[in-house]
Structure 1
Amino acid sequence: MKALMIEKLNQAYTAEKLALENLPKLAQAATSSSLKQAFETHRQETQQQVSRLEQAGQQMGAQIQGAPCEAMQGLAAEAERLIAQHQRGPLLDVILVASAQAIEHHEIAAYGTMRTLARSSGLRPVADLLEQTLKEEKATDEKLTMLAESEINPAAMQQSV
């Protein structure tokens, strides 16, 4: 179980580092100032999440350096492809929200799994660190949904009429 936990922490570390690279690209592609701000806020949270992963590794006696995370690499590549295929504007903002939520959903699943593994292994401090990040990922997903429903999707609908 410990080896599995360390592997999952390393994959999450790689995923968060990839997010740090890609969130500025999403923000740059967005036309909605609210969406830009959401991406910037989440980038700042992601920096803290990377630190928590390092702390979790230390508590387990492991150095977290990263491991391949093909799922996140695929989601990031898809987002980049979609950005390249669409012009800036309300429709691209819809696509950015969808891409970001796909990433958030992957992270929610990963952090939920890691937290449960930590709890099952009696690693309460590690579980607490992962729970904090899980809550942030869920809050980001909820914020993106709220932005989509209140601003992003209606703007794209107005443009398409």
Structure 2
Amino acid sequence: MGFFSKDIRTLDDLFVHTLRDIYYAEKQVERTLPKMIGKATDPQLKAGFEKHLAQTKGHIGRVEQVFELHGIRAKTINCPAIDGILEEVGEVSSDIDDREVLDAALIASAQAIEHYGMTRYGTLIAWAKQLGRSDCANVLAKNLKDEQATDRKLTEMAEGRINLQAA
């Protein structure tokens, strides 16, 4: 089913479709983060990725909670956008030999992942509110807050020392 599929007729249909999209994305990120942890050489970056892996597991649980609150079965749909971002993570991390440059590239890749999540969660929250589902919006807002905090921490690491070391 494409994003603007004939199966999407209402805002509720679009909400469910996008919820399934972020569910898939979070599950794919959960599978990719251990590889990023293994590639990272900076101890603080490695620890940050480990923390985000634990958060991602929580995100998955919250998305499952929203499915339940909304009265629908939790299931994924393929998301070519996150697949492309994660494919790029693998390509970039396999092409870089310098460990400081690799850490800078991993941060950039992680931020692409975070920004995707922020766009999806922000949209889902707005739609949930429009649909009168503040219960769902409140749960999703916790995931958005985590994504924003992780993005800020990655920026601080990059600007504080990782990019300088890579230069």
TM-score, normalised relative to structure 2: 0.92
Runs of 4 or more above 3 Å deviation: none
Structure-to-structure mapping, 1:81-96, within 5 angstroms: 81-87=91-97, 89-96=99-106
Structure-to-structure mapping, 1:80-159, within 5 angstroms: 80-87=90-97, 89-157=99-167
Q: Is 1:27 matched with 2:43?
A: no
Q: Distance in 2 between matches of 1:125 and 1:87?
A: 47
Structure-to-structure mapping, 1:69-88, within 5 angstroms: 69-87=79-97
- Give the conservation status (yes or no) of the 8 Å contact 1:20–1:47: yes
Runs of 5+ unmatched residues, structure 1: none
Structure-to-structure mapping, 1:31-50, within 5 angstroms: 31-50=41-60
Q: Distance in 1 between matches of 2:161 and 2:33?
A: 20
Please report the RMSD computed on the Cα atoms of aligned residues, expressed in angstroms: 0.8
Q: Distance in 2 between matches of 1:107 and 1:87?
A: 29
Work out the percentage of aligned pairs sharing the same amino acid: 36
| CA displacement at 1:114 relative to structure 2 | 0.3
Encode CA deviations 1:29-74: one digit per residue, 9 max, x unaligned: 1110000011000000000000000010111111111111110000
Runs of 5+ unmatched residues, structure 2: 1-10
Aligned length: 157
Encode CA deviations 1:100-151: one digit per residue, 9 max, x unaligned: 1011111100000000000111101100011110000000000000000112
Residue 7 of structure 1 is matched in structure 2 by 17
Q: Distance in 2 between matches of 1:82 and 1:46?
A: 22
Q: Given residue 134 of structure 1, which amino acid in structure 2 is its aligned partner?
A: L
